C-alpha cells in the first residue's frame, strides 16, 4: 500500500465530510487507506462517517487526547509506505497525493514534506513553512515584530514571509495540517511527542527528523485549502495561550538557553496576553481615556471661571491636580460599574462623580498645600457631570441606530426561540440585531433557523460572544435549564455583556430587575450583585475578618468532630483555611457532588463553605433546585444576606 491518510477530528462534522469527499477523489488510482481518529466529538461526526464513509477506518476516543497522541494511534494501525497527516477542516487538490509521492521518490533525502496551504480567501497560510522558534525568533513572533517587518530576515524568520511561496525549498518545519512522512521514519522517531497537546508537535517532529540527517521541504506544486481553527472554535480551549505554551515547551526541550530563554519567552507571552486583554476591553479603555481628558478640561474650566485665567495655581500643583482628580473620578466610576454593564447609565455616572468630588473635598483637608479653592472643585464637579453624562446621553440617544444596535445572541433553538425572533424583528425600536443562535449541543452548528445561523453550543458561547462582538444574550423560554443558565453566565469573563431571560415564571428572578416589554413578552435582565466590584471587595474583607474569628473559635471544634457522626456543617467548617487563602468563600455557590467542578462557576463567585442551598435542606435538593438557589444568591448577594447565611450556618453547626 502506497499511502495512509490520517485525519484527527474534533467536532467539525460538516468540514470533515467535505474533506473526506476531496480525499477520496484525490486517492483514485492509488493504493491507499483513510484513517479517521475522532477525539470524543459530540456533533454527530462518528455517525456521519459510519453512514456515508463505511470504508474509512474509524478510531473512536472517549476523551480528547490531543493532536499528537491521536495521530500516533492511527500511525500504529497504518499499512501505507507513507503517512499523510491532514486536518479535518481542509480540502485537498485532486493531484495533491500524486505530487507529494512523486516528490519523495525524486528526493530520497526528504524526511518530511508539506505542500502549499491556502486560507479560504486564497491567501497563503504562513504556518505552512516555518523556522524553529529559537529565543529570538520566538520573541519576534510573540511580540509582533515579525508583522511590522514581514520582508526582514531578522524579524520575520519564524514564518519566512520574505521567501517566494511559488518555489520549492528546504525549511525548518512545515504545518501539521498537511504533513507527509515515510512510515518507517515515523516509527523510528516514536511518532509525535505527546507532551504537546495541540500546536508544537509538528515543529518537534520536524526538528527530530533533521537530527537523523534528513531534510524538511516545502513543496509549492500542489496545494490544499485550510479553514483554520474550526476545531478550536468548537471548544473552550484558549488557543493563543496553548500556542505560546507549546512554543515555550519546544524551546525548553531542544535549546540550551536556560533562564535567559525562559525570561524572554515569559516576557513575550505576558506582553501578548496584555495586548489581547487591552484589545478585548478596548471600548472600556477608550471611554476611560476620554473621561480622563474631560475631567482635566473640567478642572481647567473651573479655574478659568473662578480666576478668569488658566495656570493661576502654583506650577508645582499642576502635576498633582492633573493626575489625582481624574484618577479618583475614574476609580470611583469603575467601582460604580460605569465602565462595565452600566456604561451609559446617567444615575451611576452622576452618583460616581458626586462621590468622587466628596472624596476630593475630604482630601483637601489633609493636604492643605493643594487646597487652593474649593469653589474650583465645586465648578469642576459640575462641569464633569455635564460632560461625562452628556456624551453618554448622546450615545444612548443613538443606540437604536445601526451603528449602536444591540448585537444579540439567542440561546436555544426551540419553538419559543422562533417566537422570540418574530417579536424582536417586529419591534425595531428596541435596537436588537439578531446575530445568531447558540444551541444546547453541537450537532446543529451551521444550520439556519428563520435565516439565522446556529453559531455554537452553550459550552463555547464565550468564544462566540468574542468572535461576533455580542452585546446582549437572551435565553429563550424553556430552552435550557437554570443550571445551564448559571454555567453560561458564570463562564463569561466579559462583564459588559447584558444577559436577559424570557421567563416561564419569575420565581428565580428575585429582587430589582429591568424589563423590556416586547408586546406580551417580557425580557428580564439577569444582573448579579456578586459580580459588582464593591460587593467583591466587601465580601473578600468579610471572608478575612469573620473567617479569622471562625478559625480561632469553630475550626478547632470542627476538627475534633471526627468520625462517622460528623455532620455536613462540620465538614464545611474544616474548609475555613481555604477561605482565608482565597480559594473559597464563607458564603458562595453550592456544588452538589464531590467532584466540585469549580471552574464551571469561575466568574460568578467562589464555592462557599455555606450558601442558600446549604441552609435550605441541601441534601434533599435536586440539581435544578440547587441551581435556582445559586442563581438567586448570585443575583441578590449583599453584606447583610451573607451575614444572615453565616449566622444560620453557625446555628446549624452547633445543633447538628
Hey, what domains does the chain have and what are their CATH numbers?
3-130+172-237 (3.90.550.10), 283-388 (no CATH), 406-527 (3.40.50.720), 533-655 (no CATH)
Q: For 249-280, b where at least 16 C-beta lie within 10 A, e where not — what string?
A: bbbeeeeeeeeebeebbeebbeebeeeeeeee
Residue 381 has pLDDT above 50, yes or no: yes
Residue 159 pLDDT class (50, 70, 90 cuts): confident
Residue 295 has pLDDT above 90, yes or no: yes
Rounded Cα–Cα distance for residues 465 and 14 (Å) = 22
- Name 178's Cβ contacts closer than 8 Å, sequence gap at least 6: 84, 85, 86, 87, 90, 114, 115, 117, 128, 224, 226
Residue 47 pLDDT class (50, 70, 90 cuts): very high
Is the pLDDT higher at 217 or at 398? 217
Is the pLDDT higher at 445 or at 219? 219
Q: Would you state the pLDDT for residue 43?
A: 82
Percent residues over pLDDT 70 in the chain: 79
Residue 615 has pLDDT above 50, yes or no: yes
Instruction: Share the mean pLDDT of the chain.
Output: 81
Nearest to 626 by CA among 482, 416, 463: 482
Q: Would you state the pLDDT for residue 116?
A: 93
Residue 511 has pLDDT above 70, yes or no: no
Rounded Cα–Cα distance for residues 285 and 490 (Å) = 23
- Retrieve residue 593's grid coordinates: 457532588
Q: Would you state the pLDDT for residue 427?
A: 60
Is the pLDDT higher at 550 or at 467? 550
Nearest to 334 by CA among 395, 381, 285, 383: 285
Q: Would you state the pLDDT for residue 6?
A: 96
* Mean pLDDT, residues 429-449: 81
Nearest to 165 by CA among 212, 114, 200, 201: 114
Give the 3-state DSSP-derived string for 388-446, with helices as H, strands as E and coil as C. Answer: HHHHHHHHHHCCCCCCCCEEEEEECCCHHHHHHHHHHHHCHHHCEEEEEEEECCCCCCC
Residue 603 pLDDT class (50, 70, 90 cuts): low
For the chain, the straight-line distance linking the first and the last C-alpha, in angstroms and rounded, comes to 72
Rounded Cα–Cα distance for residues 588 and 11 (Å) = 34
127-143 pLDDT tens trace: 899 888 777 777 777 67
Is the pLDDT higher at 143 or at 167? 167
Rounded Cα–Cα distance for residues 284 and 454 (Å) = 29
Residue 20 pLDDT class (50, 70, 90 cuts): very high
Residue 507 has pLDDT above 50, yes or no: no
Q: Of all helices (H) and strands (E), which one includes residue 271?
A: helix 258-280
Burial of 386 (0-12, 13-18, 19+ CB in 10 A): middle
Nearest to 639 by CA among 546, 508, 575: 546
Residue 50 has pLDDT above 70, yes or no: yes
Residue 464 has pLDDT above 70, yes or no: yes
Q: Would you state the pLDDT for residue 497?
A: 78
Phi, psi of 366 (to 5 degrees): -95, -20
Q: Would you state the pLDDT for residue 595?
A: 42
Residue 400 has pLDDT above 60, yes or no: no
Q: For 441-470, b where at least 16 C-beta lie within 10 A, e where not — what string?
A: ebbbbeeebeebebbbbbbbbbbbbeeeeb
Residue 506 pLDDT class (50, 70, 90 cuts): very low
Rounded Cα–Cα distance for residues 137 and 255 (Å) = 12
* Mean pLDDT, residues 54-67: 91
Q: Would you state the pLDDT for residue 556?
A: 86
Amino acid at each position: 500500500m502506497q499511502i495512509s491518510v490520517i485525519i484527527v477530528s474534533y467536532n467539525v462534522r460538516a468540514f470533515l465530510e467535505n474533506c473526506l469527499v476531496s480525499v477520496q477523489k484525490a486517492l483514485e488510482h492509488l493504493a491507499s487507506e483513510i484513517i479517521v481518529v475522532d477525539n470524543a466529538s459530540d456533533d454527530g461526526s462518528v455517525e456521519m462517517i459510519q453512514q456515508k464513509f463505511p470504508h474509512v477506518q474509524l478510531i473512536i476516543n472517549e476523551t480528547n487526547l490531543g493532536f499528537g497522541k491521536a495521530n500516533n494511534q492511527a500511525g500504529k494501525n497504518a499499512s501505507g509506505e507513507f503517512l499523510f497527516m491532514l486536518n479535518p477542516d481542509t480540502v485537498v487538490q485532486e493531484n495533491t497525493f500524486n505530487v507529494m509521492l512523486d516528490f519523495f521518490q525524486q528526493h530520497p533525502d526528504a524526511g518530511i514534506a508539506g505542500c502549499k496551504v491556502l486560507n479560504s480567501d486564497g491567501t497563503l497560510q504562513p504556518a505552512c513553512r516555518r523556522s524553529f522558534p529559537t529565543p529570538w525568533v520566538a520573541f519576534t513572533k510573540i511580540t509582533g515584530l515579525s508583522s511590522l517587518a514581514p520582508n526582514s530576515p531578522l524579524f520575520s524568520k519564524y514564518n519566512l514571509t520574505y521567501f517566494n511561496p511559488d518555489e520549492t525549498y528546504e525549511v525548518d518545519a512545515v504545518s501539521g495540517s498537511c504533513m507527509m512522512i515515510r512510515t518507517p521514519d515515523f516509527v523510528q522517531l516514536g511518532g509525535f511527542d505527546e507532551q504537546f497537546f495541540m500546536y508544537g508537535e509538528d515543529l518537534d517532529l520536524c526538528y527530530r527528523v533533521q537530527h537523523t540527517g534528513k531534510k524538511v521541504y516545502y513543496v509549492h506544486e500542489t496545494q490544499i485549502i485550510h479553514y483554520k481553527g474550526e476545531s478550536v472554535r468548537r471548544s473552550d480551549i484558549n488557543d493563543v495561550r496553548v500556542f505560546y505554551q507549546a512554543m515555550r515547551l519546544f524551546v525548553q526541550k531542544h535549546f540550551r538557553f536556560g533562564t535567559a530563554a525562559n525570561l524572554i519567552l515569559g516576557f513575550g507571552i505576558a506582553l501578548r496576553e496584555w495586548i489581547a486583554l487591552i484589545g478585548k476591553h478596548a471600548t472600556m479603555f477608550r471611554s476611560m481615556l476620554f473621561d480622563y481628558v474631560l475631567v482635566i478640561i473640567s478642572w481647567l474650566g473651573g479655574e478659568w471661571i473662578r480666576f478668569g485665567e488658566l495656570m493661576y495655581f502654583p506650577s508645582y500643583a499642576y502635576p498633582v491636580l492633573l493626575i489625582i482628580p481624574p484618577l479618583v473620578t475614574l476609580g470611583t466610576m469603575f467601582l460604580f460599574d460605569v465602565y462595565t454593564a452600566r456604561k451609559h447609565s446617567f444615575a451611576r455616572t452622576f452618583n460616581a462623580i458626586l462621590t468622587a468630588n466628596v472624596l476630593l473635598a475630604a482630601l483637601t483637608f489633609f493636604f492643605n498645600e493643594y487646597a487652593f479653592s474649593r469653589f474650583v472643585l465645586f465648578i469642576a464637579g459640575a462641569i464633569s457631570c455635564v460632560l461625562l453624562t452628556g456624551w453618554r446621553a448622546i450615545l444612548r440617544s443613538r443606540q437604536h441606530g445601526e451603528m449602536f444596535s444591540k448585537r444579540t445572541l439567542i440561546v436555544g433553538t426551540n419553538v419559543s426561540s422562533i417566537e422570540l425572533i418574530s417579536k424582536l424583528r417586529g419591534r425595531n425600536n428596541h435596537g436588537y440585531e439578531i446575530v445568531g443562535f447558540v444551541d444546547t449541543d453541537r450537532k446543529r452548528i451551521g444550520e439556519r433557523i428563520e435565516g439565522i445561523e446556529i453559531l455554537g453550543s452553550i459550552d463555547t458561547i464565550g468564544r462566540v460572544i468574542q468572535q461576533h462582538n455580542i452585546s446582549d444574550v437572551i435565553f429563550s423560554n424553556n430552552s435550557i435549564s437554570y443550571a445551564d443558565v448559571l454555567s453560561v453566565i458564570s463562564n463569561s469573563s466579559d462583564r459588559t455583556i447584558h444577559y436577559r431571560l424570557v421567563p416561564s415564571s419569575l420565581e428565580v428572578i428575585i429582587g430589582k430587575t429591568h424589563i423590556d416589554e416586547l408586546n406580551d413578552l417580557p425580557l428580564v435582565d439577569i444582573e448579579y450583585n456578586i459580580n459588582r466590584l464593591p460587593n467583591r471587595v466587601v465580601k473578600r474583607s468579610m471572608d478575612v475578618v469573620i473567617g479569622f474569628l471562625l478559625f480561632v473559635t469553630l475550626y478547632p471544634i470542627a476538627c475534633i468532630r471526627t468520625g462517622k457522626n460528623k455532620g455536613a456543617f462540620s465538614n464545611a467548617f474544616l474548609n475555613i483555611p481555604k477561605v482565608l487563602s482565597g480559594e473559597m468563600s464563607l458564603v458562595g455557590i453550592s456544588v452538589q457532588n464531590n467532584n466540585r467542578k469549580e471552574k464551571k462557576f469561575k466568574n460568578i463567585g467562589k464555592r462557599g463553605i455555606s450558601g442558600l442551598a446549604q441552609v435550605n435542606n441541601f441534601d434533599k435538593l435536586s440539581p435544578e433546585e440547587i441551581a435556582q438557589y445559586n442563581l438567586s444568591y448570585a443575583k441578590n448577594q449583599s453584606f447583610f444576606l451573607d451575614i444572615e447565611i453565616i449566622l444560620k450556618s453557625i446555628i446549624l453547626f452547633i445543633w447538628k
